[in-house]
A and B are shown apart, each in its own frame.
Chain A
């Protein structure tokens, strides 16, 4: 079984500040990990993915995440927040194999203060 924990439901940062969104996972098999972003009235957009290659993964819009097996974590970071980053962010885990389903965390709402 797999699960994802995203601590806190809301993070607020100032424009230009570091963004750090935490994600911890639980998986009985080597995980595949994803971060998605959702803007109001839209579907989910893939930010980045980890599928057992490099542990530091770079995504779109300046985001990156580091897979740390020892900490079972996959935290999302961005050095400098922009107003357009305000959205809801979801971490998700799946296992290898065709029959593995994608399990999402509860999501974190990111607010960016001017």
Chain B
């Protein structure tokens, strides 16, 4: 069974631009969550989608948004990029509630 796939693996953007990251969950998994990982703040929860609906949201500004499609694939968008948005963005999927999340290898976003 294929794992969680995130594209692209690396991105370089400049301040003020916007970016879209993509995540394909494990087949059959309907829940997709996004996390931001930085050396200073560690792993922080962004949001979770289930059956195309946002089910949970972390404490991030509105510049961070996401969506999920009918095939469970998810995208995350960050607008008006800031230097502090440089991070590894991880996507995770799970089959059902209380099942462990399975992570992709992440997208490393660098803001210049």
Contacts and interface: CB of A to CB of B under 8 A. Distances in A.
Interface in B34-71: 35, 42-43, 45, 48, 50, 55-56, 58
B110 interface: no
A41 B88 CA distance: 9
Contacts of B33: 101-102
Contacts of B35: 104
A43 B103 contact: yes
B106 interface: yes
Contacts of B58: 101
A98 B90 contact: no
Interface string A53-69: 00000000000000000
B100 A43 contact: no
A44 B98 contact: no
A44 B6 CA distance: 13
A87 to B, nearest CB: 14
Contacts of A32: 98
B86 interface: no
A73 to B, nearest CB: 20
> Quick one: which of B92, B98, B104 has the most chain A CB within 10 A?
B98
A42 interface: yes
B42 A106 contact: yes
Interface in A91-110: 94, 96-107
Interface of A: 32, 34, 36, 41-46, 49, 51, 90, 94, 96-107
23 contacts: A36-B103, A41-B105, A42-B106, A43-B4, A43-B103, A43-B105, A44-B90, A44-B92, A46-B101, A90-B43, A97-B98, A98-B50, A98-B55, A98-B97, A99-B55, A100-B97, A101-B33, A102-B33, A102-B92, A104-B35, A104-B43, A105-B42, A107-B42
Interface of B: 4, 6, 33, 35, 42-43, 45, 48, 50, 55-56, 58, 90, 92, 97-98, 100-106
